[in-house]
Structure 1
Amino acid sequence: MQKKGWFCFSIVMLNPSQSVLALEAETLFRMPSLKLGIAKSAGTIDVSSKGQFDDVAFSSSTSFTPVVTLIQSPFYFSDDSRWGYHTELNAAYFKLDYDDDNGQGFRDGEFEGYSVSFTPVLFYQWSDKTLCRECKSWRFELGAGINYLNADGDLIAISGDKTAFENSGFGVNAHLGAVMNYKQWELGLRFAVPTRVDGNDVEVRHALSTLSFGYRF
């Protein structure tokens, strides 16, 4: 029921004609542009595997990871409005290390994979509404959508025994963000709401927030 509720909310945000105003098809299904970037995550992912371990924490590594985004140009609810929306399709790679402070009898481990998310985003924006050679803008945004995770990992016990696990599945994702655009460049800070993914007897819960830097073509 929770996933169904988030899916319905995403459809409403993607198609505000049902609740705000009538939009033409070319507005709803306008072609997206490509954004390439890198991101640094902060926070932890908790992983549980039935019969093996519970709530083992993995922390984000110090490296930056690539992010590829298909993003629609923003649509504003009126000519004078600063409120608008767009949709994003993000694909990102991540790699995390075992949290040594967890104290569950492991000495090392890692968790890595990729995630793909579809996120309708509602925003309020200041300054220029478009991207150009001299344009700049700032906005706050609220996004909620669907996330697919495919990852695997391993844990090494103090005794040296190695436990491998993997997880793939769907969950919901949501974030609150602040984004600055200058020309075609973007700097964004997004605080993620915890996401939960169940699959293959492995449960993954995370609340990774990200600082990203990208270029939009």
Structure 2
Amino acid sequence: MKKAGDTANGTFLEKMELQVLRLEKLIRDLLEITRIESGKLSLHPEPLPFKEFLEQIISDLQLITNMHQLILTENSVLTITADPTRLTQVITNLVTNAVKYSPEGKKVEIAAKEENGFMICSVKDFGVGIAANEQSLIFERFHQVAGKNPNAGLSLGLGLYIAKEIVEEGSGKLWLESEPNKGSIFYFSVPLT
């Protein structure tokens, strides 16, 4: 039989673990910024069957995202040339942002298709959206959309900057479409093999 103190201690430990994970992410992001700024962001591209790769990432992220359903709406059979570790970092950032900034939304839609020699991947949320005057700033270091989701957690506004640098280093592009209170769609492109 559990005692009240055991439950309180368990809750306290869970909160501590969450804070440690957040601090660990901040430290990793700051290290990434240092690599980017010193020109030492290294990619190790390889041929990558993207369909299975994306399915695995979405499956893994669904395990830690219980409030939103992650839905693959289109996932063409494509082989791309990319660094799997860095690409995982980009997709994870876009999906976790979509969840974080759509607290009332119940789903996030992910799609991948071929277009003009590139794989175009999109992550669509049904959340707070981003005003037109903020959209040009969203990929800058330390930029955060002010006051959009106070429950979004501790962040320095580095994730999208890092994702953009990774995608561009791999000869791709990262962009968005968004409307306040209707959600956002983030896209990135990667060359096909």
Higher strand proportion: 1
TM-score between the two structures when normalised by the length of structure 2:
0.27
Higher helix proportion: 2
Specify the structure having the higher radius of gyration (Cα): 1
